[in-house]
Structure 1
Amino acid sequence: MGAGTLWQRAEGADGGRAQARRRAGTVLPLTIARLDRLSRIAAASLLALALLAQPGLGAAAGTGTLVLKTASGDHNFNIEVMITNQERALGLMFRRSLPENGGMLFLYDPPQPAAMWMKNTLIPLDMVFISAEGQVHRIEQNTEPFSTALISSDGAVVGVLELNAGEAEKIGLKRGDKVVYPGLAKGAP
């Protein structure tokens, strides 16, 4: 009989089998083992739910209004703000759309070179790299969905703003234009 056997049949004097009887001491270990397995499954499930509830995994870390000041005027965008590495890694991946006048802002503190890609991103985007002075440093227009090619900031930046493709051209955005968002650049108006 194996260690996990719950029932045992003894052989009678005539060689026949006696009535089955419970083997002592085996039910409790199996119950503990089963509970241990169930508790591990429950813990893994709770961990998965907790991760899904984290900002950046379906929900924005924060939201706000960002203003791009161009020669054609001020342009307001309702943005989602990504601050942590985990949030920035997910970004707009798997999203089917970005609202009109919507965007996603990736913040970096301290300023640093940034590289983006379009892996698992379903929609074309304009990427606006923002200098520590709160100005447009570089613009990459109409990025290709699903591309794994790196899109570099070409220098240290405090943020990257992703907008719907064509938005930068539509508002006449150029290098040097002012980007206004609280906390984007310390001391920037």
Structure 2
Amino acid sequence: MAGLTMERAKELLHSTTTEAHLFEHAIGVSAAMGAMARHFGEDEAYWQAVGYLHDYDYEQYPEEHLKHTEEPLRAAGVEEESIRAILAHGYGLCSEVEPQTPMEKSLFTVDELTGLIGATARMRPGGLSDLEASSVKKKFKDKKFAAKIDRAVIKQGCEMLGMELGDVIELCIQGMREQMDALGLGPKEG
């Protein structure tokens, strides 16, 4: 059975979401998921589509995130593997679905991490174009920087993946760099 496509993920997200920052987040997570898929030798387009759709119900139900995802997506014909990955990204926060597969663990990890990378890139004249993993790791240690980002979730995700934080950051930067213009994180015009 064919997995979720980006075209379908966009249709579904547009049916529930209007806020520009949520679409930006969807693009960032999608791009990072593509890089993670390449790393694991998996289907890049499929992982990107799942990443794009992961916050399907967030705008409508921010206090009940992921409680209004499973049934509507199933009714829309989204296959179980995609639904499970989307539910697992909220593990321990707003979902009981524990990440098991590399895709589920990756989505759990990059959801928060892309926010930290984006915030770090915004502080730099070159944006994502010349961002190094070491700069993001410095900001990771600075709890006051992008304080809303849950670093414990990122650490937990890296442990689940059996990967070093720096390696995951590097992959996410590579993926997000491919979408830096769509993310508004390209070099600033001097």
Fold shared per TM-score above 0.5: no
Return the TM-score normalized by structure 1.
0.30
TM-score normalized by the length of structure 2: 0.30
Which one has the bigger helix percentage?
Answer: 2
Query: Could you say which structure has the greater relative contact order, defined with CA pairs below 8 angstroms and 6 or more residues apart?
Result: 2
